[in-house]
Amino acid sequence: MAKMEVKTSLLDDMIGVGDMVLLEPLNEDSFINNLKKRFDHNEVYTYIGSVVISINPYRSLPIYTPEKVEEYRNRNFYELSPHIFALSDEAYRSLRDQDKDQCILITGESGAGKTEASKLVMSYVAAVCGKGAEVNQVKEQLLQSNPVLEAFGNAKTVRNDNSSRFGKYMDIEFDFKGDPLGGVISNYLLEKSRVVKQPRGERNFHIFYQILSGASEEFLCKLKLERDFSRYNYLGLDSARVNGVDDASNFRTVRNAMQIVGFMDHETQSVFEVVAAVLKLGNIEFKPESRSNGLDESKIKDKNELKEICELTGIDQSVLERAFSFRTVEAKQEKVSTTLNVAQAYYARDALAKNLYSRLFSWLVTRINESIKAQTKVRKKVMGVLDIYGFEIFEDNSFEQFIINYCNEKLQQIFIELTLKEEQEEYIREGIEWTHIEYFNNAIICDLIENNQTGILAMLDEECLRPGTVTDDTFLEKLNQVCATHQHFESRMSKCSRFLNDTSLPHSCFRIQHYAGKVMYQVEGFVDKNNDLLYRDLSQAMWKANHSLIKALFPEGNPAKINLKRPPTAGSQFKASVATLMKNLQTKNPNYIRCIKPNDKKAAHIFNEALVCHQIRYLGLLENVRVRRAGYAFRQPYEPCLERYKMLCKQTWPHWRGPARAGVEVLFNELGIPEEEFSFGRSKIFIRNPRTLFKLEDLRKQRLEDLATLIEKIYRGWKCRTRFLLMKKCQVVIASWYRRYSQQKKYQKIKGSAITVQSYIRGWKARKLLRELKHLKRCNEAATVIAAYWHGTQARRELKRLKEEARRKHAVAVIWAYWLGLKVRREYRKFFRANAGRKIYEFTLQRLMQKYFLEMKNKMPSLSPIDKNWPARPYLFLDSTHKELKRIFHLWRCKKYRDQFTDQQKLIYEEKLEASELFKDKKALYPASVGQPFQGAYLEISENPKYKKLKDAVDEKIIIAEVVNKINRANGKAASRIFLLTKNNVLLADQKSGTIKSEVPLGDVTKVSMSSQNDGFFAVHLKEGSEAASKGDFLLSSDHLIEMATKLYRTTLSQTKQKLNIEISDEFLVQFKQDKVCVKFIQGSQKNGNIPTCKRKNNRLLEVAVP
C-alpha cells in the first residue's frame, strides 16, 4: 500500500521552522532567514504561536484550491503546514463550537496583501459553513459586495495596483449552527481627495476607468460621456492603464455583482449618473471677470459641460451656475452673499465633486448593508474581518496619510494589548512565575495624536473652529507650541533645538515617529480637509436636483432643516469611529494576520531583507516570539496535551481514568523531563523550551510508528482470521450448494437413464408385437396368394384343358372339313378345272372396282377450278383410270364454273385471257395486273363537267379514258395527257384543257413496243407516211399498260381484222420526226424510289432506268 502523504504535525517535513516560537537560536537574522527560506520555497505563511505572518507572494499560488479547503477543514491548527485557512478554520470553529465571537485583524503596509487575505478568509468561511439555497444566496451576496466596494473605493497607487482607499470592517453574522445569516459593513474615511487629484504614477478610483472602457456606446451616450480618458481633467493620465487589469471586463463583473447584491436597475443607473456627473464636473472651467467695484468674479468658460451635468442630474442650470459664483453666509438671521473669485470657484467645484463621490460611496455601503443584513432577530454569533488601509509613507504625505497612519497606530496598539500584554497576563492568571518582558508600546504615539487636549487632532479642530484667519501655517505654529516636547514629534519650527538644522525637514512640515517609521506630513491642506467644507449654496443646489439619489445624498441642503451648527470635523469623526471600532474589537477573540511586503516592486520571487527586517521590527514580531518563549514557548490545556502524548507512557495508554492534569504529571515524570522545562498552570501545561517539544514530538513519532506496527499486526491478524473465517463459511456454503447440485444432477441422470431404459424396453416390446402381427398378416397374405395362385393354376389348367378340348374340336372340324373338301374335290375335280378360276378372278376384280368407286364418291374434292387436290390412287392397275377421272372431273367443274358467268363477265375474262396470251411470261409487269379488274374508262369523261369539251369532240364510244405521261422526245421529260381509245381512233388530249392534241386512226397504228421489265413505258408506232406519223411515234407511260395494250390489240383486231404487232424488247427504235431514236431500258438505282426515270443521253439514245 502506498504511504499516504499526510503531514501529521507542524514539525514534519517542514521548510525552515513553521512556528517561529520553535526557532533556535532566536535573533533577527535567523528570523529573517527562516522567513526567506520559507518564502523561497513558496511557503508564504509562518506562525508565531497562533499569529499568522503572511508574505505577499505577488503571484498566484496553487494553495487556495477547494482541495486545500477540504484539507484544512476540521483539522487542528498545528496539524498541517501554516496557512491562512488554518487560522480561518480555527476562528470559525471556535465561533461555532465555543460560542466565541471572533475578529480577524489583518494588518500590514499598503500592498502587503491585507485585502487579499481578508477575501481568502471570507471565501474559506463561505466554503466550510452550511449549505442550502438560502445560505448560498447570503454567501454570494456577502462575497459579491467586495467587487462593488473595490471598484468604487480602490485605486492604483505607487505601492499597490489595487490599493484600498477606505477602511473596511465587515461583521459576518452566523446562527447557532454556524450558517451565515448576513453581514454589516462599516467603512472608514474614503480618501476623497483622489477624486480631484492624484499623485504622480497613480490613478483615480477604478470605477471611472471601468465605465469609460467597459460601458456600451449606448450607455456612455446616455451618461453623456466619451470613451477617451484624456477628455477628463480629473483622470490622471500617466497611468490610466494598469498592467494585467482589464477595466472593461471588471466593469461587467461590477455590474453583475451589483445585480447579485440586489441593486435595482434604476439604482444602478442613478449610481452611474452620479459617477458621470463627478467626472464631468472636472471639466468645468472658470475665467476671471473684473467688476468695476474691484471685486474679482469668475465666470464659467464653456457652459456646455454644465448644461450636460444639469441634464444628467436634473438640476436647474441657473441654480448650479449661481452656486459656482456666489457664496451665502448666514449669521444671526442675516444672509450675506459674496462673489467667488476663480480660485474659490475651483475650490467649490472640487469640493462638490469630492463630496458627491464620498457620499455616493457611503450610500453604496448603506445600500449593500440593507441587502446583506440578517433577516432574523435571533442572537447571532459574529466574525469580524478588518481590512483597513495599511501604513503609508509617500513622498508627500497629507491629512489622509495622517489619518491612515493614526488608524494603524491604533491597530498596533490593540495588537500589543491583546498579544504582548495579554500573554503576560495569562501567566499571572495561570499562576506561573513570571518576569516581565520589555516591548515598545505605541500608546504614547496614539496619545500624541488623539489626546483630547493636547493631541494633534484636537489641535486641528481647535484651529478650524477658531474665529479669525485660520491657515495651515497657524495650525503648524500651534503644533509647534504644544507638541514640541513630545518625543515622537519633530518640527523645524519647534522650540526644541534638535531639528533647527535638520534640512531634511522643510518648514511647512512636521514629522511623527510612528511605530512603523518616521513620516513627514505636509501641513498644507490639513485645515481644509479637516473642515471638509461644502458651501451651503452647493448643497442646496444639489438638494434641489430632480434626481432622487443626489437629493438623498445632500439632506442638509433642505432649507427646512437648516442647521447653523457646524458639522463635526473629518478628524473628530474618524477618531470617534476608530474608537468605536477598537471597543468593538476588544469584545471579540482576536486572530492576527500580519502581512509583510517582500519588496517595493510588486514583484514575485524578490525578498528584500532590509525591507522585511524593517517591518518585522516595527511590527514587534520578535518581541512577540520572545514573550511567547521567554517563559514558555508552548502551552496547551491539559486534555489535548494528554490526548496527544498519552501513548508515551504505559499508565496513560490507552486510557487515563483520572483528571487530565494528574495524567500529564504522570506522563512527564515517566518521560524524565527535567522539572525546570515545564510548569503546571491552572488549566494548561507550559513548556519552556521548544526542544522539549521537539523531543516529545520525536518520541511521539517513534511511538506512533511502533503503534502503527502493532495496529498493523493486529489488523493483519484480524484481517487474515476474518478472511479465513469468511472463506471457511464460504467453503461450507459452496460445498453444500455443490453437493446439492451434484446430487440433483445424479438424480436427474438416473431418472433420465430409467426413462431411456424404459422406453427401450417398451419399444422392444412394441416392435416384437409388431413383428408378430406383421408375421401373422404376411401369413394371411401368403395364404391368400397361395390360394389365389392355386385357384389360378387350377383355372388355367381348366382353361388349358378347355382350350385343348376346343382346339381338338376345331382340329377335328378342320380335319373333317378338309377331309370333306378333299372328298368333294376328289369328287368334283373334273368340273372345277374348266370354269371356276376365271369366275373367281372376275368377281374379285369387280368387287375391287366397286369398292374403288364407292370410296371415290366419298373422297371427291371441292368444285373450285383452282383446287389441286385429288385423292391418292388405291390400286396400281387403276392408274390411268384415276388420271382420266381427274381430268374429266376438272373439265366438268370448269364448265360448271363457266356456266355461272354473265355475258359481261365472259367479256372481261376473254380480255384477261387475251392479256395472258400476250404478256404472260413476257413482261415483268404482267403478274401485278392479273388481280386488277380492267376498267377502261378511268376518267369519267361523260360525267365530269371538266371534260365537257372533250366529250363533245368525241362522239364514239370511249373504250379507254386515262391519264398517261407523254415522254418529251427531246429531253425525256414527261407531260400528262389524256389517252382516249375509241372504236376507230386513238386520241391524246391536254389534261387541263381537254383540247385534243393528236388523233390517230387505228388503222395507222402499226406496232406497240415495250420492255420486258416492270415499267409502264410503251411506244405507239405509226404507219409511215400517214398523217399522224408526221410528228413521229408516241412514247408514253401508264400504270395500266397491260390493260391498254390488250384493249388496243382487241379493238384493232375487231376493227381492222389485223393482229396488232406487240413487240416486247428492252431496246427498240422510235421514230422522232425524221430521226430514229433508240429507247434503252437499263437496271437503274433505287435512288428515285420505284419510279422509272427517263433521260435523253444523246441524239440517238433515250435511256430509261428501271428500278
Ligand X SMILES: Nc1ncnc2c1ncn2[C@@H]1O[C@H](COP(=O)(O)OP(=O)(O)O)[C@@H](O)[C@H]1O
Catalytic residues: 110-111, 115, 160, 163-164, 390, 392
DSSP states along 566-605: PPPPHHHHHHHHHHHHHHHHHTSEEEEEEEE-S-SS--TT
571 belongs to the binding site for ligand X (CB under 6 A): no
233 binds, among ligand X, Mg ion, none (CB under 5 to 8 A by kind): none
187 belongs to the binding site for Mg ion (CB under 5 A): no
H or E element, residue 51: strand 51-55
In the chain, the amino acid numbered 72 is Y
Give the alpha-carbon dihedral of 471, 475, 476, 477, to 10 degrees.
100
690 binds, among Mg ion, ligand X, none (CB under 5 to 8 A by kind): none
Site string for Mg ion, 267-306 (x = CB under 5 A): ----------------------------------------
54 belongs to the binding site for Mg ion (CB under 5 A): no
The cell numbers describing 745, all together, are 444432477
164 belongs to the binding site for ligand X (CB under 6 A): yes
111 binds, among ligand X, Mg ion, none (CB under 5 to 8 A by kind): ligand X
> Can you tell me which residue has the cell 450610500?
363
At residue 9, the 3 state secondary structure works out as coil
Query: What is the rounded distance in angstroms from the CA atom of residue 432 to the CA atom of residue 437?
Result: 14
Measured from the Cβ of residue 247, the count of other Cβ atoms closer than 10 Å reads: 19
* Of positions 93, 114, 514, 977, contacts ligand X by CB under 6 A: 114
Q: Which is nearer to ligand X, 116 or 191 (CB)?
A: 116
Task: Name which of residues 113 to 152 contact Mg ion (CB under 5 A).
Answer: 114-115
Residues in contact with ligand X, counted by CB under 6 A, come to a total of 21
CB 111 within 8 A of CB 164: no
Nearest to 50 by CA among 76, 15, 68: 76
624 belongs to the binding site for Mg ion (CB under 5 A): no
* Of positions 195, 211, 595, 915, contacts ligand X by CB under 6 A: 595
Nearest distance in Å: CB 254, Mg ion: 17
CB 667 within 8 A of CB 650: no
112 belongs to the binding site for ligand X (CB under 6 A): yes
398 belongs to the binding site for ligand X (CB under 6 A): no
110 belongs to the binding site for ligand X (CB under 6 A): yes
* Of positions 113, 282, 1016, 1032, contacts ligand X by CB under 6 A: 113
Compute CA distances 317 → 312, 324, 544, 546, whole Å: 11, 11, 11, 12
Query: What is the rounded distance in angstroms from the CA atom of residue 150 to the CA atom of residue 115?
Result: 10
590 belongs to the binding site for ligand X (CB under 6 A): no
State residue 1062 phi and psi, 5-degree precision. -110, 115
Strand-pair category, 381-387 with 334-339: unpaired
Nearest distance in Å: CB 529, Mg ion: 21
Q: Which is nearer to Mg ion, 154 or 692 (CB)?
A: 154
Count the helices and strands in the chain (H runs, E runs). Answer: 31, 31
Nearest distance in Å: CB 161, ligand X: 6
Q: Which is nearer to ligand X, 56 or 1051 (CB)?
A: 56
9 binds, among ligand X, Mg ion, none (CB under 5 to 8 A by kind): none
435 belongs to the binding site for ligand X (CB under 6 A): no
1074 belongs to the binding site for ligand X (CB under 6 A): no
State residue 1067 phi and psi, 5-degree precision. -150, 115
164 belongs to the binding site for Mg ion (CB under 5 A): yes
Q: Which is nearer to ligand X, 591 or 1038 (CB)?
A: 591
Site string for ligand X, 116-155 (x = CB under 6 A): x---------------------------------------
CB 455 within 8 A of CB 410: no
Task: Name which of residues 450 to 489 contact ligand X (CB under 6 A).
Answer: none
Nearest distance in Å: CB 199, ligand X: 16
Q: Which is nearer to ligand X, 75 or 83 (CB)?
A: 83
Nearest distance in Å: CB 387, ligand X: 6
Nearest distance in Å: CB 243, ligand X: 11
Give the alpha-carbon dihedral of 91, 95, 100, 106, to 10 degrees.
30
Nearest distance in Å: CB 200, Mg ion: 21
Q: Which is nearer to ligand X, 108 or 620 (CB)?
A: 108
Q: Which is nearer to ligand X, 91 or 456 (CB)?
A: 91
CB 937 within 8 A of CB 961: yes
Query: What is the rounded distance in angstroms from the CA atom of residue 710 to the CA atom of residue 713?
Result: 5
Nearest distance in Å: CB 307, Mg ion: 39
Query: What is the rounded distance in angstroms from the CA atom of residue 984 to the CA atom of residue 967?
Result: 24
56 belongs to the binding site for ligand X (CB under 6 A): yes
State residue 575 phi and psi, 5-degree precision. -55, -45
* Of positions 162, 369, 558, 1093, contacts ligand X by CB under 6 A: 162
Q: Which is nearer to Mg ion, 354 or 597 (CB)?
A: 597
Query: What is the rounded distance in angstroms from the CA atom of residue 362 to the CA atom of residue 271?
Result: 12
The cell numbers describing 496, all together, are 526644541
1094 binds, among Mg ion, ligand X, none (CB under 5 to 8 A by kind): none
421-424 long-range contacts, CB within 8 A, separation 24+: 423/627, 423/628, 424/627
Query: What is the rounded distance in angstroms from the CA atom of residue 1021 to the CA atom of residue 1009?
Result: 8
* Of positions 108, 455, 590, 1032, contacts ligand X by CB under 6 A: 108
Which residues make up the interface to ligand X (CB under 6 A)?
56-61, 108, 110-116, 160-164, 390, 595
